[in-house]
Chains A and B, each alone.
Chain A
């Protein structure tokens, strides 16, 4: 893996992440994608709305003749998604038989695939239950699945923290994660992609303590040798708390510098796509989100990253994205489709395009000289939004030089 920072604007950095011959401009978003959703090859392995999105990704005839693959230059999948579709042992074996990119259905796919470990299922005392396909989901199995997917980026199996965890709870979880890291580094020695270390905490001291616990079991040098990037987790329960998000990412960057990991790429796990500009400005390089899908399922159509309308009230002629330019897809978004997934799938694709285009704009702003372009972007994007603008001001003050400096 190679990660080169081309230029910076304040704390925001513009970079190129290269793994296994595929390159990705950062900051960038990994849209969540369930590659295997219970179906067979003919249904692009199924998964409801995920199936429709996969059809967009491979530009299948079923979704018309638009060009969509460019929006899937990065994808996030989770091994735990396999447990969501009640698949049996045979299907499980079939899914792991060949890497995703080597399958005929996904031929020509140029996407950096990030395979999460599914540790978030442990939150609220949950578990990753592999009993449907007779597998015990421990660190070793999780890695085998990540590898079998042919993933480009993988993370160790982790135990995320919850906002009301006590100090003892957090230490216990960090110790369990430390055991997994030990195992992970042992079994993944031959892995050819990038390995990200999961980091948990809401502020510097919590993350620092987490790394202290980890380095009690895995020596610091081994950690630095074994991993290529940081995946900041545990923020899902706080994803609507912008102040918490800002503090966590700012402190994480500071901690990475103090622990000699400052030049590693930083991925923030599971965020709301609306927070993407804030995270990018604070110096997060990549993040994943399924907001475009959830909003589409709830009938929400993005007019911009910050504004959405109910699909029945949307005016598709005002958007020139390939979804809204396609008569076939507009017809579907108007409700004329046999299956709900065809309607919400098209809306999800549109929402994703809006988000990805926004990141393109953010990258252009970072590329411009100084921080002015990015500050202007924040003004335009958040100025009219009363709830978001004070957080935007916080980011401008923390990471982009401030208004009155």
Chain B
């Protein structure tokens, strides 16, 4: 007996719609649809609502007929074959709302489709239906208007957090508005995009007008003056189409990009941190999808690069965030080709000179910083004398004290700054384990184990009240008893142990033994 696996339609719709949280993703899907419908103008309006946002998208594309509207509402039933939204998943983002209204004019007919309470119904395990009405109208004036009422944003994606600036950056970085198709000329169509936000969201301007082209910052091949000579350097690497052969087929890779310093990168409308936004992008429909930074050899920091490598033969996941045919031979082949292309960029003499300029700037800044730091340190030596600020200086002080006063009979025999018991000294011929701190209080603050220490070397004792607190409250389950006037302290934790204190500032001020005049 043969049986067919079943699909739970409601759960599938719920799953797919739940993947989307950011209302801006609605814009990404809508702009792609408008572009597919050959629109030349798209208008988007967003209004804030107590538990979400109303979003209206209107375009002058060729509109949708009854069959297109079915695809709009159906799952995985797209009519499109070679366009951005061919999978039929994107528009299901609209189901996360209270109402979807679509009005479209197509070939002399006006269609209106309304779906009420789609999200609530899906959550009630009910498949929402839509009401379709048709009217005959004059031909011409085609276009589509979609109104999404109370789109349910995910936590942290509330419409109030939008600004024109944020939306502009999102559009340019994540959607077809940031397409790099125009660099390749051929079949690129220009589309004007207008976004209007509710005054409650952002009242700093009336609207945002942009197009579907990502423009690059201007080229500057020569370094600037000053401490950061390379920061505005920039070289464009023009659009290049590469035919790539792979097992059983052939595809085209379209690659365009630039190399530039920090100031150049700041001129990009990036969405998110630079470290997550620069490097090599793989794209489909000239919209960036995923980065392939391993394509740049390890000795070159990817952050200086911005390349978009477009290939129509990569396949995307439902939410268009990742590539899903990474194990395919076509993916492997384009991967190799991109790596090869970039190896040429990284060997470009201009790129070498750019790195050289960066290095020079860094060196110059380091020298300037050294000068000012040395000046301060020298001034401090002149005004305060020898005052150790680190453990190495404390040991220098100790050696100096021994030089001034040979009767101390002290020498540092071993010092490993990474070890807990960092120093071995020879005192009166005997080797002793020691730990060095600028202040004795640091010994306790650093949680140093005391069990294996014979001597605590310090420049000074630090705050006596702080030491007394250790005497009062104990240290790692043991008791501390200070005998400061005898130059030591006792630590009792099972065994009792006496630790000598070598206070270097005092050793240095003690009078030097009088030399006998012989």
Contact = CB atoms under 8 A, between A and B. Distances in A.
B-side interface mostly = helix
B463 interface: yes
A86 interface: no
A160 to B, nearest CB: 16
Interface string B431-467: 0000000000000000000000000000000111110
A279 B22 CA distance: 46
Interface stretch (A137-145, A198-206, A296-304): A198-206
Interface string A186-217: 00000000000000010111101100000000
Contacts of A170: 465
Contact of B469 (A166, A167, A203): A203
A205 B464 CA distance: 9
Contacts of A167: 462-465
Contact of A203 (B462, B464, B465, B471): B465
Contacts of A203: 465, 469
Nearest to B466: A205
B480 to A, nearest CB: 12
Interface residues of A, number: 10
B477 to A, nearest CB: 19
A208 B464 CA distance: 12
A17 B471 CA distance: 36
Contacts of A166: 463
Interface in B463-479: 463-466, 468-469, 471-472
B459 to A, nearest CB: 14
Contact of B464 (A201, A204, A209): A209
B284 to A, nearest CB: 44
A241 B462 CA distance: 23
Nearest to A170: B465
Contacts of A206: 465
A154 B463 CA distance: 32
Contacts of B469: 203-205
A204 B472 CA distance: 9
Interface string A260-280: 000000000000000000000
Nearest to A254: B472
Interface in A283-322: none
A127 to B, nearest CB: 26
Nearest to A166: B463
Most chain B CB inside 10 Å of its own CB: which residue of A167, A170, A204, A205:
A205
Most chain A CB inside 10 Å of its own CB: which residue of B464, B465, B472:
B465
Contacts of A205: 465-466, 468-469, 471-472
A203 B472 CA distance: 11
Nearest to A205: B468
A170 B462 CA distance: 13
Contacts of B463: 166-167
A206 B462 CA distance: 13
A209 B464 CA distance: 9
Nearest to A201: B465
A205 B466 CA distance: 7
A206 B472 CA distance: 12
Contacts of A201: 465
Contacts of B465: 167, 170, 201, 203, 205-206, 208-209
A311 to B, nearest CB: 22
Nearest to B473: A204
Contacts of B464: 167, 209
B265 to A, nearest CB: 37
Contacts of B472: 204-205
B470 to A, nearest CB: 9
Nearest to B464: A167
A203 B441 CA distance: 15
A201 B472 CA distance: 15
A164 to B, nearest CB: 11
The 7 A-B residue pairs with the shortest CB-CB distance in the complex, in nearest-first order: A205-B468, A205-B465, A206-B465, A205-B469, A167-B463, A209-B465, A203-B469
Interface of A: 166-167, 170, 201, 203-206, 208-209
Given A203-B465, A206-B465, A208-B468, 14 more contacts: A166-B463, A167-B462, A167-B463, A167-B465, A170-B465, A201-B465, A203-B469, A204-B472, A205-B466, A205-B468, A205-B472, A209-B464, A209-B465, A209-B468
18 contacts: A166-B463, A167-B462, A167-B463, A167-B464, A167-B465, A170-B465, A201-B465, A204-B469, A204-B472, A205-B465, A205-B469, A205-B471, A206-B465, A208-B465, A208-B468, A209-B464, A209-B465, A209-B468
